[in-house]
Structure 1
Amino acid sequence: MKVIDQYAYRSPLRHFDPVQKVLFSLLVLITCLIEHSLLLYITVILLMGWLTVRKGLTPIKLYIMLMLVPLTFLILSLLTLLFDFSTESNSFLWSIHITHMYMGISKGSIQICLFMFFKVFASVSCLYFLCLSTPMNDILRVFEKWHCPTFLLEIMSLIYRFIFVFIDTATTMYTAQIARLGYRNFHLGIRSFGMLLSTLLIRTLKMNNVLYTSLECRGYNGSFNVLHEGSYKSLPYLYLILVEALLIGLGIIEFILGG
């Protein structure tokens, strides 16, 4: 989280209008969720990767590591879609017999998993583009302009700040355990990790109470007044329309060719 926040503030794309970036990311994300086109997904992954790495100056190694974060959850989810059940084995490319049914992999299940794999990564690339080019304060400012309820914005802002408190507390405790050789073997490591989890929540709640008290001492009345950049660079909205039209066109072309 800290790394993402740091590169969001360092990114040259930060100085562009956050409304356009949020709108662009949401439109492309919705297009990925609605369309069923492998060509569109690959195009979105390449486009968002190019904008984030080339224009946003995010290190390619960091970007690849971030893209691999949801891979474990994605593989576990795709395994449930890859295998299918049927009373006949003719529809499967590979199958095993289980009691009165067959469990196997079919051509259709492979296609579904392939489309879902690229759809997820295309959607994730849209979110990473926004997170690595726009600080959280600017994103909340956009939702404020769109008349999002104030209490939701305040909750989002507080949760976002308390995430860093949680991470710092966990890192400090973990470093202290390592310094005391708490992970020198497997059994001791399990015990140390259990102690870390059991005390982490208590310490985090105490830290949150201290931070909230400090906010009240500084006149916090339920709303944050944050300074924002006075002016942003802006691109013609025609560019956004052309990109969206191109993506929709790719989906239509693949649908026509596939049909």
Structure 2
Amino acid sequence: MFKIDQYAYANKLRQMHPGEKFAFALLTMTICLAAPVPLVHLVVIMLMAGMVVLRAGIPARFYCKLLALPLSFLLLSVLAVCVSVTSHPGVPVYGPVIHGYAVGVTLAGLYQAGLILGKSLAAVSCLYFLSLTTPVVEIISLLRRLRLPSLFLELMGLIYRYIFVVMETADRMYISQSSRQGYASLKTAYHSLGQLVSNLFIKSYYRSSALYTALSSRGYTGDLPVLDNSFRLSGRNIIFIFLVELFLAGLAWHYWRWPF
């Protein structure tokens, strides 16, 4: 079981209504995606970090490791936005000139890259809050109450659960290869990795067929009924969510219209 799934079942916000957590994450993410205001993105990142670490009790070190994963991809992605190549002399580019072309960064490019980075990281932090505090079973149950297609929800649940099977199979194969010096050098590492990926695909296909056969033998007709836990809506939490979203919306509106 992944650490994310473990913390989703064992955190201080476990008994909070899933609808409240879902609404809080969705509304906050909508505001930060709609508002091109860096200050709002920074506030959302800090707010979600405080909710996850201080309120839910998730270790700060683990949360920082989770944020470091998308941050590394985002930093590589925004490089394409930062770097500009132009031959127009009126565009201020800070960088060398190579054969009449200025290669470097512009102030507009740096601002746009920072805006994309902050907006993406803020949206990811909202999703981390929901995934670290709410089990997938409860999220699927909530989406079912919102009348989402049952086929989509069943596929969502099966794919999520099957991730653990694939990861366990890959881990066992990697341990087996490592015990036979399969990663002793770069050449053998590439060869072992290729074998791992190809065999993992075959084993995953076989396990998925066996899973479908097991479900069909137990009367599976496209629906997996589960027992839902009972939660009570909290007026204090609803007021808190309303005030936070109102503050973020007001902050976004103010700095969007009057940046200074």
TM-score clears 0.5: yes
Contact residue 95 and residue 102 of structure 1 kept, 8 A: yes
Contact residue 89 and residue 95 of structure 1 kept, 8 A: no
Deviates more, 1:80-89 or 1:102-111: 80-89
C-alpha distance 253-219 of structure 1, shift in aligned 2 (>3 A): same
SS at match of 1:12: coil
Task: Determine the structure 2 residue equivalent to 1:188.
Answer: 188
1:116 aligns with 2:122: no
Q: Percent identity, aligned pairs only? A: 34
* Alignment-mate amino acid for residue 7 of structure 2: Y
* Alignment-mate amino acid for residue 226 of structure 1: V
Task: Determine the structure 1 residue equivalent to 2:155.
Answer: 155
1:36 aligns with 2:36: yes
Q: Deviations over 1:206-248 (max 9, x none)?
A: 1111222222233322111111212345244232221111001
Q: CA deviation at 1:88?
A: 2.9
Task: Determine the structure 2 residue equivalent to 1:206.
Answer: 206
Contact residue 92 and residue 104 of structure 1 kept, 8 A: no
Any gaps of 5 or more consecutive residues in structure 1? none
Question: 2: distance between equivalents of 1:137 and 1:258?
Answer: 43
Task: Determine the structure 2 residue equivalent to 1:249.
Answer: 250
Contact residue 15 and residue 233 of structure 1 kept, 8 A: no
Contact residue 9 and residue 133 of structure 1 kept, 8 A: yes
Task: Determine the structure 1 residue equivalent to 2:241.
Answer: 240
Task: Determine the structure 2 residue equivalent to 1:19.
Answer: 19
Question: 1: distance between equivalents of 2:112 and 2:175?
Answer: 44
Question: 2: distance between equivalents of 1:89 and 1:210?
Answer: 65
SS at match of 1:16: coil
Q: Deviations over 1:141-196 (max 9, x none)?
A: 11111100111111111111111111111111011111111111111111111110
SS at match of 1:84: strand
Contact residue 87 and residue 101 of structure 1 kept, 8 A: yes
Aligned length: 259
SS at match of 1:103: strand
Task: Determine the structure 1 residue equivalent to 2:4.
Answer: 4
Question: 2: distance between equivalents of 1:99 and 1:76?
Answer: 26
SS at match of 1:190: helix
* Alignment-mate amino acid for residue 177 of structure 2: Q
Q: Deviations over 1:39-77 (max 9, x none)?
A: 111110111011111111111111000001112221221
Deviates more, 1:42-51 or 1:98-107: 98-107
Question: 2: distance between equivalents of 1:176 and 1:77?
Answer: 36
SS at match of 1:244: helix
Any gaps of 5 or more consecutive residues in structure 2? none
Q: CA deviation at 1:93?
A: 4.5
TM-score under structure 1 normalisation? 0.94
Task: Determine the structure 1 residue equivalent to 2:49.
Answer: 49
C-alpha distance 18-136 of structure 1, shift in aligned 2 (>3 A): same
Task: Determine the structure 2 residue equivalent to 1:168.
Answer: 168
